[in-house]
Structure 1
């Protein structure tokens, strides 16, 4: 039986690519599409194709009335948490694709998911190569003590750091050894130039025209450095396969799981 999927943000940069992929997949069914700007239109036509028989609605609440197994959210940082909690309360599993949520937000989502016996999956980045960057950085953190994260994005990106950088820093914090560099609290001058701390890792965010999305983990040891970096291209295709993998696996376990690499092995 096909998995019934709602895509929130279905006409956006990544959401549109995911919606098209769901429509094309034999084991998935697009049960709903959410996009305020296209509400009332057929999602197929809104995406520039043939009618798909699914009307776009303005809210997740409306989409859930038709019934679904999984909500995929590629909306905005200020909307994703409420959308996730709405779906969870309806017994629908959630795949979080939108960045901007904090560790406290995820803790609240996890608590709600467990209370409602549903699964939630979140990743800072659903690209396979970005996931490999995280995997390799976590391996390196076991051996090299000093690490900092730098993320790059366009000047219009609404959240900082990126979801990729935030998730990477949080996960590195659980593995890294004590830093040997001078603590930020002991520095003079303008301390803010050392970035912001997420867990035990300093994170620096650049927002400039010309970038799409990039993230790197820089490791330093006496006499040598290691750079592990991911650069995104100009379209959303790299994020589709990982998102669909999460859709197919999100209901395997109750509660929140974070990091696409958890599904690799």
Structure 2
């Protein structure tokens, strides 16, 4: 039985994760981490059934002391996720992270810490299996069509831009693509930001609108042709198969993995 704790259980992704773990054979939800005093158990919240008697902790050390989880799922916010991940590894708890916003320096530090402690850690910019395939296909296409732009579209409450998926896609493409400046050599933005962010000459555009969940298209241009690779998450249930896969996988590894494409 894998004992699981969830940070961010009241969020839209967190609610789905709570239901998924509660119903999954071989897993037990033992705790929730929430820095607001919202109740004693998840059953105290109107968003969960009355039989969800999972304790809520406002202090991570107390959570570890009283419930000793094997895995911490973090679905919180960029400003909290780094510290949660670091503390989990230090306590020999395996983090499964669905929050983006890590700096390169933070990722390197966490990677070294996980290897030193021999504690598995999975950081997934996107849990949707289709999105992972989209990134893999985009990397393959970039070998032959190196002129590429990424358009990622998310709900208007998302805190970071570009999205972790957009950045991860660009990083994967950059592994097989020689850095190059796209567009006219002397092009000029008449409004700052019109061309999006620049990643090794690739452009990443972020759209934030109500009604969206998580969507991305990668456009490849060539002489007389356009290739578009697109993925759409229509609801948050689309991420849960990846969450389950990550929980089951992280207990068997002893290092940090950034991106599910490395283990799928």
Is the deviation greater in 71-80 or in 245-254? 245-254
Question: What is the deviation of 1:45?
Answer: 4.6
* Equivalent in the alignment of 2:143: 142
Counterparts in 2 of 1:157 and 1:180: CA distance versus 1, 3 Å: closer
Q: Residue 160 of structure 1: SS of its match in structure 2?
A: coil
* Equivalent in the alignment of 2:12: 13
Q: Residue 194 of structure 2: SS of its match in structure 1?
A: helix
Question: What is the deviation of 1:75?
Answer: 0.5
What whole-Å deviation, never above 9, does each CA across 1:203-257 have from its counterpart, x for those lacking one?
A: 1112233432211111111111111111221x32111110110011013322211
**Residue-pair matches, total:** 261
In structure 1, list runs of 5 or more residues that go unmatched.
Answer: none
Question: What is the deviation of 1:37?
Answer: 3.9
* Equivalent in the alignment of 2:35: 36
Q: Quick check: 1:45–1:51 contact (8 Å CA) kept in 2?
A: no
Counterparts in 2 of 1:168 and 1:62: CA distance versus 1, 3 Å: farther
1:62 and 2:62 correspond: yes
Q: Residue 148 of structure 1: SS of its match in structure 2?
A: strand
1:209 and 2:184 correspond: no
Question: What is the deviation of 1:61?
Answer: 3.0
Aligned pairs (5 A) from 1:34-113: 34-37=33-36, 39-46=38-45, 47-65=47-65, 66-113=67-114
Counterparts in 2 of 1:180 and 1:189: CA distance versus 1, 3 Å: closer
Report the Cα distance in structure 1 between the residues aligned to 2:87 and 2:201, rounded to whole angstroms: 32
TM-score w.r.t. structure 2 length?
0.90
Q: Quick check: 1:170–1:199 contact (8 Å CA) kept in 2?
A: no
Report the Cα distance in structure 1 between the residues aligned to 2:201 and 2:248, rounded to whole angstroms: 33
Q: Quick check: 1:148–1:217 contact (8 Å CA) kept in 2?
A: yes
Q: CA RMSD in A?
A: 2.1
In structure 2, list runs of 5 or more residues that go unmatched.
Answer: none
Report the Cα distance in structure 2 between the residues aligned to 1:137 and 1:251, rounded to whole angstroms: 29
Q: Residue 193 of structure 2: SS of its match in structure 1?
A: helix
Question: What is the deviation of 1:124?
Answer: 1.2
Q: Quick check: 2:30–2:55 contact (8 Å CA) kept in 1?
A: no
* Equivalent in the alignment of 2:248: 248
Report the Cα distance in structure 2 between the residues aligned to 1:44 and 1:241, rounded to whole angstroms: 25
* Equivalent in the alignment of 2:156: 155
Q: Residue 95 of structure 1: SS of its match in structure 2?
A: strand
